[in-house]
Every structure is written in C-alpha cells, then in structure tokens.
Amino acid sequence: MKLITVSGPPSSGKTSVIVHLIADLRHRASRCAVVKFDCLATDDDALYASHGIDVRIGLSGNLCPDHFFVSNIDDCFAWGRRYGYDILFSESAGLCNRCSPHIEGCTALCVIDNLMGAGAPRKIGPMLKTADIVVVTKGDVVSQAEREIFAFKIRQANPSCLILHINGLSGQGSAYLSEVLLRTGDMQTLQGKELRASLPSALCSYCLGETRIGKEKQKGNVRRMELD
C-alpha cells in the first residue's frame, strides 16, 4: 500500500484535491481511502462519504494535533492494509505552520493556495519545505503574474519539489498528479520509519492543564519573548 501524507493550511483545498485525485485513481482501478485528522470537529467525513470514499476521522481534541497524528498513523496504515486499499491518504491541517506529517519513504504533498500572498512560503515550515509535491490551488482567481511570483517563492522555499497547479473546483491538473502518485513505491509497514521533521516540543505547565497566567505558573519548557 502507498501512504500519501497531504498537508496544508486550512481552506487551501486539500479535501477538494484528494476527492479529484481519488476519482482519477479509481479510473485506474486503485482502491483508495482517507484518514482525516482534525482538532475539534470536521464535516469532511460526510463530504468524502458523499463521493463514496471510505474515510476514518481522527480528532486530536486537546492534544497537539501532530503528536496525535504520529501516535496514530501506523495504526491507520495497518488498518488500510487490512482493508486491502492500494492508496491511503492522510489529511491534516498543519494549523501552526510548524507542524508537518511528512514521513521518509511516503510521498508528501503540501496544498497551498494562491491567495496566501508571496510571504506564505517563508512562513510555512517543514510541511512545505520537506514536501515532494506542492499543489497550488485557486489559480483561476489571481493574476498570471501573481501565480508566477507565488510559484517562484515556493521554488525558493523548496527547491527540489514538483510544483503542480490544480483547480480544486474543476479538478484540472489532478489527472497528472494521480499518474505521478501511481509511480511511487509501495510500503509494507510504517514501523521504524521516521518523520521528515521533528515535531514541535510542548512540555510546560500549560500542556498539563494550567490555565492561570503568571511567571510562577510557568514550569518546564518555557521561552520568553525579548521585547526591549
């Protein structure tokens, strides 16, 4: 089975891209499923189901979304194999821009959109910078020049990735991406595999439920801003 990790900021078009990809992949007789990671709630299970796509949902609740992802992805992988899928997509939002679900040996996708502005590639961390493929959406609503500038900024942030433009509404461009994905290798297990980037550390009193503000309440891994 192949695991494709799909990341990207909220509303960048991850779900639309995956839905179009799976439609193309089905034409090529691939069995696909999705594991959607979110924090508090999601409607995407209904959305995927409406396209006849098998989906499982993981809500991280009050845990760090990425730590939650890593603790669950190998079970998800095993689930996908057990059910006989050819390709499993994991979808996660990358909410703090420091997060990245990408794993060595699994094809890594980052979906970002043209409306984020030229500064976005700098602000997004490993989920963009370590991706194999960067999918750019919403190209139909911005100027040609801005599309070119945006693609250049992505190229600077991730010099070795493949940059593809996909229209999330029409799906134009997804057929080629599905071909690219089909050419990637299969895996037997995620046991022993490594994340491409370390996860954000979070070990302070607030991780343990502290809500009060004040220096004496701050314990553990705390870092202060320099304001003067």
Partner 1 sequence: MIEDYKTDTCTVEELIASHPYVREFFAMNNLPMENGYRTIASYFATLPYTLLEDLGTQPPVLLGRFHAFMREMANIRERQGVDIKSLTIRGGRDKRGNVEDIELRIGLGDLVSIVGPTGSGKSRLLADIEWMAQRDTPTGRQILVDDEIPPASWRFSSDHKLVAQLSQNMNFVMDVSVAEFLVLHAQSRMIDHYDQKIAEIIRAANGLSGEAFELDAPLTSLSGGQARALMVADTAFLSVSPIVLIDEIENAGINRTKALALLSGQNKMVLIATHDPLLALSAPKRIVVCNGGIMAVLDTSDEERQCLRQLQAMDDIQTVYRDTLRSGDSLRMCRDRACGGFHI
CB nearer partner 1, residue 88 or residue 131: 131
Strand arrangement of the beta sheet that strand 32-38 belongs to: 54-59, 32-38, 87-92, 2-7, 107-113, 133-137, 162-165
Supply the minimum distance, in Å, between the C-beta of residue 2 and partner 1: 20
Q: How far is CA 97 from the centre of its chain?
A: 11
Measured CA to CA in angstroms, residue 40 lies from 43, 58, 65, 91, 131 at distances of: 11, 9, 10, 15, 26
Nearer to partner 1, 29 or 46 (CB): 29
Taking the complex as a whole, how short is the minimal distance between the CB of residue 152 and partner 1, in angstroms? 3
* Binding residues vs partner 1 (CB under 8 A): 98, 100, 114-115, 117-118, 121-122, 125-126, 129-130, 136, 140-146, 148-149, 151-153, 155-160, 162-165, 170, 172-173, 175-176, 197-201
List CB contacts of 83: < 8 A, sequence separation 6 or more: 33, 54
Distance CA 76, CA 189 (A): 10
Considering the complex, state which of residue 75 and residue 148 has its C-beta at the smaller distance from partner 1.
148
**122 vs 219 by CB, closer to partner 1:** 122
The residues facing 28 across adjacent strands are: none
Question: Quick count: other Cβ atoms within 10 Å of Cβ 107?
Answer: 20
Least CB distance to partner 1 at residue 186 (A):
23
State the nearest-atom distance from the C-beta of 206 to partner 1, in Å. Answer: 18
CB of 82 to partner 1, least distance (A): 31
Nearer to partner 1, 80 or 94 (CB): 94
Torsion sign over Cα 144, 121, 160, 196:
negative
- Measured from the CB of residue 124, what is the shortest distance to partner 1 in angstroms? 10
Interatomic CA distance for residues 38 and 80, integer angstroms: 19
Q: Which is nearer to partner 1, 145 or 213 (CB)?
A: 145
